[in-house]
Amino acid sequence: MNSLRRACVVLTAAAGLGSVLVPAASADSLQTVAYTSEDGAWPLEGSAQYAAPGDEIAVFESTQGILWIDVQSGLKDLNVELSAPAGETLHTGTYTGARFRGQSDPALNTPGIFVYTHGNVCGDDYADFTIDRLDKDADGRTTDVDVTFVQHCGSPDGPATRGEVHFHA
């Protein structure tokens, strides 16, 4: 890998997110979160791109099996939580028909999603998400994640937010 590729990681985003050059601490470390929302989407509006080390990005799986993606960027915050249907654990693959699952709600018969930003949350989510990578270390801590999601608030055909997460510690 040449030195230019070590200095920058190219984040090629699907579904209209565009391309972004993201500085990386090393060739192995990558922590980015990006989304683009159609007009009228909620609670995420417009588009945003976050990258560590300038932005704080944490990704972990809770003891309840919920994958938490937490972004802190100055006074801005973003939290996306993804969960498998009741009785299942998250794994690589595509999850369709995800519905709102509040932070203290029990598991659902469908996959779950919770999107929160600036005190706003959609309580009527319709979403699909794909986990392309979900690796853990020997102690069970989440170390590597690649996720894409499409979320609609209020109806399955409402304005969409398309996002992606790449977290490689």
Give strand pairing partners of 10.
21
pLDDT at 11 over 50: no
- Residues 36-48: pLDDT tens digits? 999 999 999 999 9
Q: Give mean pLDDT, residues 153-165.
A: 97
pLDDT of residue 10: 30
Averaged confidence pLDDT in the chain: 85
Query: Is residue 3 scored above 70 in pLDDT?
Result: no
pLDDT tens-digit map of 125-156: 999 999 999 999 999 899 999 999 999 999 99
72-94 confidence digits (pLDDT tens): 999 899 999 999 999 999 999 99
Query: pTM to 2 decimals?
Result: 0.82
19-36 pLDDT, tens digit each: 333 333 334 689 999 999
Q: What are the contacts of 45-50 at 24+ separation with CB within 8 A?
A: 47/17, 48/76, 48/78, 49/11, 49/20, 49/22, 50/78
β-strands 112-117, 76-83 pairing: antiparallel
Q: What phi, psi does 9 have (nearest 5°)?
A: -115, 130
CA distance 52 to 41: 26
Confidence of residue 63 (pLDDT cuts 50, 70, 90): confident
Q: For residues 81 and 100, what is the distance between their CA atoms, to the nearest angstrom?
A: 10
- pLDDT value at position 25? 37
